[in-house]
Structure 1
Amino acid sequence: MATGDTLHVEVVTADRELYNGEANIVDVPGADGQLGILPHHAALLALLKPGPLVIKLNGAEEAIFVSGGFLEVSNNSVTVLADTAERAEDINEARAEAARRRAQERLADVRSNTERAQLQAALERAVNRIRVAEMVRESGGRTRVKMPRSEDYTNN
């Protein structure tokens, strides 16, 4: 339950829950720009774009890549319904880099605006997956402390 200096956060996709807990701040990649959600934030509905979602609690941070989706803020609670999402430590950087290269190579031979838009979206997802993975790798574990996973509490 959220206290005066925290808010409740849930990050889910259609098939799983990635985070369910408290936070002091949530940084979210909104379609119209980066959003910082603090406790007692005004009600809000927003579209998400691909990028890093960072949950901060008492100096600890959890970085999650979201490929897009929706954000709802209401009653000191944040709900993120992501199209797809993965924790930073679960991202396969080599696979993301290969996807980035494929999208860039295919953009050179694009034949339609639809195909161009699809490839640019794939490129954006790959670049942001790499960026989120690098956030954790570059910290060397010093500033990014892994918070408990929600599934750690579901069997109690």
Structure 2
Amino acid sequence: MAEELEEMTVQVITPSGLVYDHHGSFVLAHTLSGDMGILPHMINTISALKIDELKVRRPEDKDGRVDYIAVNGGIIEVNHNLVTIIADSAERERDIDVSRAERAKIRAEREIEQAKAEHKVDDVKRAEVSLHRALNRLNVANHL
């Protein structure tokens, strides 16, 4: 009898292309319905993602290596040991420009204050999303 695979393929895809493509033994994703832990042979599922980090435990590394990816929403699909994340944007921890993310955070905070002062609700919401994305990128970059 063939030994069952204890890993799955994890791919993160954005309009710019493939951001991440590795094997994983465990994936933790933050969906709109709550946190989703994914193990090999999980039932097929699909869910919407929050702006948050994606955590992938690599099977070939017995020391427990974990890859972190900043994902800005999107969807996750699990289908026969293939975990596919489709997002508007995503960055691996090693690819994040921390100074750029810090500038984006400061800019978003400034935009929130200005929009609140001018009572522009839609502008406040847009700036809050920008702030959340910047904070997510900074959080993932801190895992290095």
**SS of equivalent residue, structure 1 residue 12:** strand
Q: Which amino acid aligns with 1:92?
A: D
* Residue 4 of structure 1, CA deviation: 2.5
**SS of equivalent residue, structure 1 residue 73:** strand
Match of 1:116 in 2: 124
* Structure with a larger share of its residues in strand: 2
* Residue 79 of structure 1, CA deviation: 0.6
Match of 1:48 in 2: 49
**SS of equivalent residue, structure 2 residue 41:** coil
- Equivalenced residue count is 134
What is the 5 A alignment of 1:27-46?
27-46=28-47
* Residue 11 of structure 1, CA deviation: 1.1
Match of 2:87 in 1: 82
After TM superposition, the runs of 4+ consecutive aligned structure 1 residues lying more than 6 A away are none
Q: TM-score, normalised by structure 1?
A: 0.80
* Residue 129 of structure 1, CA deviation: 0.4
RMSD of aligned Cα (Å): 1.3
1:72 aligns with 2:77: yes
**SS of equivalent residue, structure 2 residue 131:** helix
Q: TM-score, normalised by structure 2?
A: 0.86
Distance 2:106 2:34 in 1: 26
Q: Is the 8 A contact 2:20 2:92 kept in 1?
A: no
Q: Which amino acid aligns with 1:26?
A: V
